[in-house]
Amino acid sequence: MLNWWYEKSLLVGSWCIPIICSFSGWAQQQQQPFPYWNDVQQLILADVQLPKPRHQVLFAGSSSFTMWKTSNEAFPEKTIVNVAFGGSTLLDQIRYIDYVITPYKPRQIIIYCGENDIAYDSTVTGREVRNRFVKLVELVRERFPEVHLTYVSMKPSPSRAKLMPVYREGNELIREYLKTIKHASYINVFDAMLDASGKPKTELFLGDMLHMNEAGYSIWKELIRPHLK
């Protein structure tokens, strides 16, 4: 346990004590330097207060994982730690990797991210998403050379139906990339969420037609389970 705290102190540096001792007041006084920094601080605080066992399966990425509140119950046979945050992009995952992913010693990292990169910036192509993902993988591999990396494909959603061709392109490029590296796998949730006409199934989504309901997560659960390490 002492070793764990020493490693944690090295990671979070001089601001570890303020977070533990007066996190709420300190956070309110600071300007948010980058998107989702406040969300990341909450993850850091939760981790420091409730240290997790090693060899976890990390769920990292954006809100489709953040809003999966029953991810632990979905896979009771595994130690699932959900470190996804906000409507984050791959650039956010890269920026915060040493706050969100590095503190753990995971056996597997499952990533759902990339959808927002495209939705937030019309100039972002499927290839750009692939390139950002490659950069994230390279950073993860520097820290965890043997960890198994799994990418969950960008999903189709009714509210972003016009972006589906770009999602398809990005998914395919990432799938091909993952074939070239060791300890990696790809999960295709895209096709399973389409109806017979090729449109997103509205019954899988909440009222915003972007985030999933339990029916949507039920599909994800069945597709993800065979890939858990």
Where residue 3 falls (left for φ over 0; alpha for ψ -120 to 50; beta otherwise) is: alpha
State phi, psi for 144 to the nearest 5 degrees. Answer: -135, 80
- The reported pLDDT for the residue numbered 14 is 40
What is the structure's pLDDT at 116? 97
**Which pLDDT band, with edges at 50, 70 and 90, does 217 fall under?**
very high
**Buried b or exposed e, range 105-134, using 16+ CB within 10 angstroms:** ebbbbbbbbbbbbbbeeeebbbebbbebbb
Question: What is the C-alpha to C-alpha distance for residues 226 and 220, in angstroms, rounded to an integer?
Answer: 11
**Does 50 score more than 80 pLDDT?**
no
> What confidence tier does 55 reach under pLDDT thresholds 50, 70, 90?
confident
Q: What is the tens place of the pLDDT at every residue in 159-193?
A: 999 999 999 999 999 999 999 999 999 999 999 99
Query: 9-23, 88-102, 143-157: which range is least confident on average?
Result: 9-23
pLDDT in tens, 104-130: 889 999 999 999 999 999 999 999 999
Q: Phi first, then psi: give them for residue 50, nearest 5 degrees.
A: -130, 80
State the pLDDT at residue 21. 41
Q: CB of 69 within 8 A of CB of 94?
A: no
Assessment of whether the complete model's pTM goes beyond 0.85 = no
Domain 50-227 falls under CATH 3.40.50.1110: yes
How is the chain split into domains, by residue range?
Answer: 50-227
Q: What is the pLDDT of residues 12-42, one digit of tens each?
A: 444 443 433 433 443 444 445 667 666 666 6
What is the token pair recorded at 67? 């809003």
| Mean pLDDT of all residues in 84-108 | 93
What pLDDT, on the 0 to 100 scale, is given for residue 43? 63
Distance of CA 91 to CAs 64, 131, 191, Å? Answer: 17, 11, 26
